[in-house]
Amino acid sequence: MSATPLLHAQGLARYYGKHRAIEGISLDVSAGEVLGLLGPNGAGKSTTMGLLSGCLAPSAGQIVIDGVDLLERPKRAKRHIGYLPEHPPLYDDLCVDEYLRYAARLHGMRRAQLPAALQRAKQRTGLDAAGRALIGTLSKGFRQRVGIAQALIHQPGLIILDEPTVGLDPLQIREIRELIGELRAAHAVILSTHILAEVQAVCDRVHIINRGRTVFADTLANLAGHTASSLIVAFGAPPDVAELTAIAGIQAAHVLGGGRFRLEHDSATSPGSVAQTACDRGWQLRELRAERQSLEQVFMRAVYAETHEDRTP
Ligand SMILES: Nc1ncnc2c1ncn2[C@@H]1O[C@H](COP(=O)(O)OP(=O)(O)OP(=O)(O)O)[C@@H](O)[C@H]1O
């Protein structure tokens, strides 16, 4: 990540009347990065995207885009933002060229700039041959491409995509994900999603929110390096679960079948103590490895553990 992020958001909060949608959200995104904003339904993703794009006013907090304060100088800051809302603002009665021309004019581009801008945006989104097609006749995947083309027509530094693959078929999802990956070369990208695989497929970093608050934020590279507090073991002569949980520091043992188990352990326990016990008792150790922490585990721990705790009477 470069020293100065393209987007810096600090302490964002948004209330709808008395209802707190988000609070204390801070995030940075740099050029060349795709940040995934992940959370279950109602977590506050769209609200956060609305604030970052300047479409919603925050109740508290600061947003700086390419050195320009979004609240103090909204017009100037918005020049650096391209936004694809959850429901793309498309006009079915316009053809793709007419619509992109209209979007470019809304972004304050001069008429003389339009032909080159349209050609560039269409070429980058795979719409070269679709300029004269009526938007109302396009497939959902192509409509989404048009939505992305309007977001990048004025060559903003930051592109914000709210649930960009919702409602698409698997092939269209793959195509849009590839397109998002390509955008990284020239832009900072934030996308919101509730799909873990989406984050894993296209994002460099993940920011998980639950009920309006940040519950996890890190790079995917760091995530892969983390180890969970569990071991996978396999034995030729497997013991009973009770014998495994009797090993000091082993908190639970789950049978995986074929002599394999997942052992949950405390932070002080090393795989060596399990290996030693297996050796002493003749269990014929065949496999012993620390489990990698997956995004799913992080998500479940951060989101569902919190939700469950609150529901426990
Ligand atoms: N205009 C509004 N008026 C009142 N409450 C709202 C409004 N918009 C959102 N909320 C509430 O704010 C919270 C966050 O909603 P938001 O739409 O930002 O979540 P989300 O993570 O985008 O959800 P989803 O994935 O279902 O779109 C929810 O409790 C929602 O009911």
| Contact status, residue 82 vs residue 158, Cβ threshold 8 Å | yes
Taking the CA of residue 212 as reference, the ligand 1 atom at the shortest distance is 14
| Residues near 271 by beta carbon (within 8 Å), at least 6 away in sequence | 231, 288, 289, 290
Tell me which of 20, 45, 208, 213 to substitute to probe ligand 1's pocket, judged by most ligand atoms within 8 Å of the beta carbon.
45
**Closest residue (by CA) to atom 7 of ligand 1?**
16
- CA 230/CA 6 separation, integer angstroms: 38
**Which ranges of 81-206 would DSSP assign to H, the alpha helix?**
96-106, 114-124, 140-152, 170-183, 196-202
Using CB distances shorter than 6 Å, the residues near ligand 1 are 16, 19, 21, 39, 41-47, 194
Q: Same CATH topology for 7-220 and 228-292?
A: no
Answer with the residue of higher pLDDT: 180 or 308.
180
- Say whether pLDDT at 305 is over 70: no
Return mean pLDDT, the chain.
Answer: 90
Q: Could you give the ipTM of this predicted complex?
A: 0.96
Burial label, 273 (beta-carbon count in 10 A; 0-12, 13-18, 19+): middle
Ligand 1 centre from 154 Cα, in Å? 29
- CA 102/CA 109 separation, integer angstroms: 10
| Contact status, residue 219 vs residue 205, Cβ threshold 8 Å | yes
At residue 291, the pLDDT reads 78
CATH no. of 7-220:
3.40.50.300
pTM higher than 0.90, yes or no? Answer: no
Ligand 1 centre from 14 Cα, in Å? 10
| Contact status, residue 27 vs residue 160, Cβ threshold 8 Å | no
- CA 135/CA 91 separation, integer angstroms: 7
Ligand 1 centre from 38 Cα, in Å? 14
- Residue 313 confidence class, pLDDT cut points 50, 70, 90: very low
- Cα Rg for the chain, rounded, in angstroms? 24
- CA 183/CA 259 separation, integer angstroms: 47
- Residue 172 confidence class, pLDDT cut points 50, 70, 90: confident
At residue 312, the pLDDT reads 45
- Say whether pLDDT at 309 is over 70: no
pLDDT in tens, 246-285: 998 898 999 999 999 999 888 777 778 899 999 999 999 9
Ligand 1 centre from 40 Cα, in Å? 11
Mean pLDDT of 237-245: 95
Taking the CA of residue 192 as reference, the ligand 1 atom at the shortest distance is 22
Architecture of domain 228-292: 2-Layer Sandwich (3.30)
Ligand 1 centre from 301 Cα, in Å? 22
At residue 194, the pLDDT reads 85
pLDDT in tens, 53-102: 999 999 999 999 999 999 999 999 999 999 999 888 899 999 999 999 99
Question: In DSSP terms, which residues pair with 308 in a beta bridge?
Answer: none
Would you list the domain boundaries of the chain?
Answer: 7-220, 228-292
